[in-house]
């Protein structure tokens, strides 16, 4: 169970094509978002569809694969860990971001 300390597994759909950058160091970085949805009935008996968006970051070979094969709307499974960071926005306020640092991506659904 030691591998469960910081482990995230999600299946969802891409909200955008991956945004890929090659840094000065030569490392490749891909950022994209995926949406997960769950359906349930509220206390009034109405069907509710609740969607949550997740920020995903991939590095290296995984980022190159994301750039080549992932497109907006595609269904994927990702496995990784949660990371948090902060940065200063253009207006000077401090912003906080929680992201999933991907170890593995599995492409689901039909081939194009």
Residue with the two structure tokens 């980022």: 63
Residue-level pLDDT at 1 = 56
Q: Where does the pLDDT of residue 106 fall: very low under 50, low under 70, confident under 90, or very high at 90 and above?
A: very high
94-107 and 47-59: which strand pairing? parallel
The DSSP symbol for 15 reads S
Domains and CATH numbers, the chain: 2-40+47-107 (2.40.50.140)
pLDDT, tens digit, for every residue of 14-65? 999 999 999 999 999 999 999 999 999 989 989 999 999 999 999 999 999 9
Instruction: Give 107's contacts (C-beta < 8 A, 6+ positions apart).
Output: 69, 70, 74, 75, 76
Q: What pTM value is reported for the model?
A: 0.82
User: What 3-state class would DSSP assign to 63?
Assistant: helix
Question: Which of 92-98's residues contact partners 24+ apart within 8 Å by CB, and which partners?
Answer: 97/55, 98/55
Distance CA 52, CA 55 (A): 10
| Listed residue (49, 50, 52, 48) closest to 15, CA to CA | 52
pLDDT, tens digit, for every residue of 56-104? 999 999 999 999 999 999 999 999 999 999 999 999 999 999 999 999 9
């Amino acid at each position: 169970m030691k591998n469960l300390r910081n482990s995230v597994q999600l299946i969802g759909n891409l909200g955008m094509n991956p945004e890929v950058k090659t840094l000065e160091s030569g490392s490749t970085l891909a950022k994209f978002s995926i949406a997960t949805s769950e359906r349930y009935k509220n206390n009034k008996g109405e069907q509710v569809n609740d969607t949550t968006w997740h920020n995903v970051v991939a590095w290296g070979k995984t980022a190159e694969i994301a750039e080549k094969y992932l497109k907006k709307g595609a269904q994927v499974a990702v496995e990784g860990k949660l990371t948090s960071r902060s940065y200063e926005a253009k207006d000077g306020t401090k912003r906080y971001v929680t992201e999933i640092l991907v170890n593995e991506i599995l492409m689901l659904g039909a081939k194009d």
